[in-house]
Every structure is written in C-alpha cells, then in structure tokens.
Structure 1
Amino acid sequence: MRKTYRIVADIIAIDVVIQAMAMVFAIAGLFKWIDDGATLDKSVIESWEDDPPTWTGSIGHFIHVMNGTFLFPLLGLILLIVSFFVAVDGAVKWAAIIAVSIVVQILAGQFAGDSPYLGLVHGLNAFILFGAALMAARSARPVKPDVGATPSTVP
C-alpha cells in the first residue's frame, strides 16, 4: 500500500506539470494562429465543440480540461482511499490537502471565465497541489537504515 500511495502521489505531481505544459502549448499555438491572421472571437468559442479549432497546440486546451475534470478527481479519490489503509505518518493529512486542492482547482478553473481573478487562484493553487503531492510521495518513501549505526545492546 505504501508503494501505491507513493506512486499515485507522484502521478498527481507529474500531472500538474503536464497540465502546465498543455496550457502553454495551447496558448503559444493560439498566439501564433492569431499572428498568422486568424481571429479569435465569440463565434469561434461558441462553435468550439462542433468545429474545434485547428491551430497547432489547440489540443492542449482539450487535454487540460479533460485531465483536470476527470483524471485529477479520480487520482485524488484513489489517494484519499489508499491513505486510510497505508501505514505512513500524515498520509490522510496529505491526501486530504490534495483532495481539497483539487476541488479548489476545478472550481477556480470553471469559474475563471466569469471572474478572471480566479485564474490567479487556479495558477497559485497548482503549485500548492504540486507541493502537497511531492510531500505525500516523500512521506511514503521507504525508510533507509543509518549507515554505520550499531544496534544497541542491553547488558
């Protein structure tokens, strides 16, 4: 269970990095698309589902949304469930912090269109989620014995 907990926490941290990469890919591609003469307006956004954009990197937005909407909640739930069965100090605490952070991420992401300042929360919270996932994974590392330590003997 310790290894499962560590691996799921590591996957969450890696997934945060993938999310950032996907969005930068999408935004960079969007800027190039606009520089090449295209226009992003309300009609493009409204027809997005029926006629998806074709600029290089546009898949990054799709990856970010799907990953954040479905994969993160699943991973967070798995980590939280495993945390109750793993013999790691602070496992439930870190899993709960991660679960709450995922909820904040989803809500901030969904409502950032109505309140762009939530985009700041979304970006900052990604670092919190990343750090918490690394701490959770670190807490589950196997304990290595001290080199050179001698077992104490009782006379």
Structure 2
Amino acid sequence: MRSAFRIIAYVICALIAVQAAAIAWMDSGLFIWVSEGGVLDKSVLESEAAPPFAEVTGMMIHGMNGMMVIPVLALVLLVVGLLTRTRRGIVLGATVLGLTVLQVALGMFGHGLSLAAMLHGLNALLLFAAALVAARSRLEAPVERTPEARVGARV
C-alpha cells in the first residue's frame, strides 16, 4: 500500500504539470489567434462550429483533467492512505484531497471572479507541493502495541 500511495501521489504531481502545460498552450494559441485578427466574444464561445484555433484543445485537457481525473486520484490517494493505517498517510491524503476540492471550486468560481482565478493558480502550486510531500514521505509501519507495553504505559 505504501508503494501505491507514493505512485498515486507522483501521478497527481505529473497531472498538475500537465494542467499547467495545457492551459499555457491554450493561452498561447489564443494570444496568437487574437494578434492575427481573431475576436473572442460570446458568439465564439456559444458557437457549435469548429474551434477557432487548434490550441483550444489545451482548455479541454485542463478542464477534463482538473474536474475528473485529479479529483478521482486524490480520493483514491486518501483511501490508500487510510489503508496504510499510518497517521501520516491519512493526513497527507486528506490534505491532497482537501486542496483538490478547493482547486475545483476556485476553478469554477474563476470564470466569474478574477480573484478566484488568481487563487486557483496559487492553490495549484500548494496542491503540487502537498502531492510531492506525500510522494516523498516515508510512511512508517503502524506501531503494534503489545499487551505488556500497554500495561507499562498505564504506570
């Protein structure tokens, strides 16, 4: 279970890197499209026509990865952390899941509130750091207390 915990945490880190790359790719493509005369307005967003620039795929990757894949993996990380029966595994798994829930909420609110979008970017760094700490942590085996140790502890 400890190896699974570590692997899942590293995968979350890799997916957060994909998130940053995908949104930067989309933003770059949007900038190029606008600088070449493209206009982004409500009609473009509501259009069912083909996307106006190829890099819009980065936005789709960012959305699907951030709304589905990473949250599921964060939940799995917590479950695996619980199965390790170590306090550190549980705390780290819960931290990653909590930051992931916050990240999704900030991403959703960021479409209407620019401050939330800014916090979404900042929280991504915190989430990456938490997942990296989880991946690099040593989950010690739970200490089994013998009946003799329990009696000695009461004295």
TM-based fold match above 0.5: yes
Correspondence for 1:90 among 88, 97, 100 = 88
CA contact (8 A) 1:6 1:141 kept: no
- Cross-structure match for 1:80: 78
By relative contact order (CA 8 Å, sep 6+), the higher-ranking structure is 1
Structure 2 counterpart of 1:85, one-letter code: L
- Cross-structure match for 2:41: 41
- Cross-structure match for 2:24: 24
Q: Which moved more, 1:51-60 or 1:22-31?
A: 51-60
Distance 1:78 1:97, change over 3 A: same
Structure 1 ranges of 4+ moved more than 3 A: none
- Cross-structure match for 1:64: 62
- Cross-structure match for 2:13: 13
**Unaligned regions of 5+ residues in structure 1, if any?**
143-155
Structure 1 position 114, deviation (Å): 1.5
Correspondence for 2:121 among 108, 120, 123 = 123
**Unaligned regions of 5+ residues in structure 2, if any?**
141-155
Q: How many residues align?
A: 140
> Matched residues in 1 for 2:112 and 2:136: separation?
37
> Matched residues in 2 for 1:108 and 1:133: separation?
18
SS at match of 2:40: coil
Q: Which moved more, 1:56-65 or 1:132-141?
A: 132-141
- Cross-structure match for 1:145: none
> Matched residues in 2 for 1:94 and 1:65: separation?
25
Matched ranges for 1:134-149 at <5 A:
134-140=132-138
CA contact (8 A) 1:83 1:95 kept: yes
> Matched residues in 2 for 1:114 and 1:7: separation?
35
Q: Which moved more, 1:79-88 or 1:19-28?
A: 79-88
Question: How does the TM-score come out when normalised to structure 1?
Answer: 0.85
> Matched residues in 2 for 1:32 and 1:116: separation?
22
CA contact (8 A) 1:72 1:102 kept: yes
> Matched residues in 2 for 1:43 and 1:13: separation?
36
Structure 1 position 87, deviation (Å): 5.0
Structure 1 counterpart of 2:53, one-letter code: W
Q: Which moved more, 1:127-136 or 1:81-90?
A: 81-90
Please tell me the root mean square deviation across aligned C-alpha atoms, in Å: 1.5
Question: How does the TM-score come out when normalised to structure 2?
Answer: 0.85
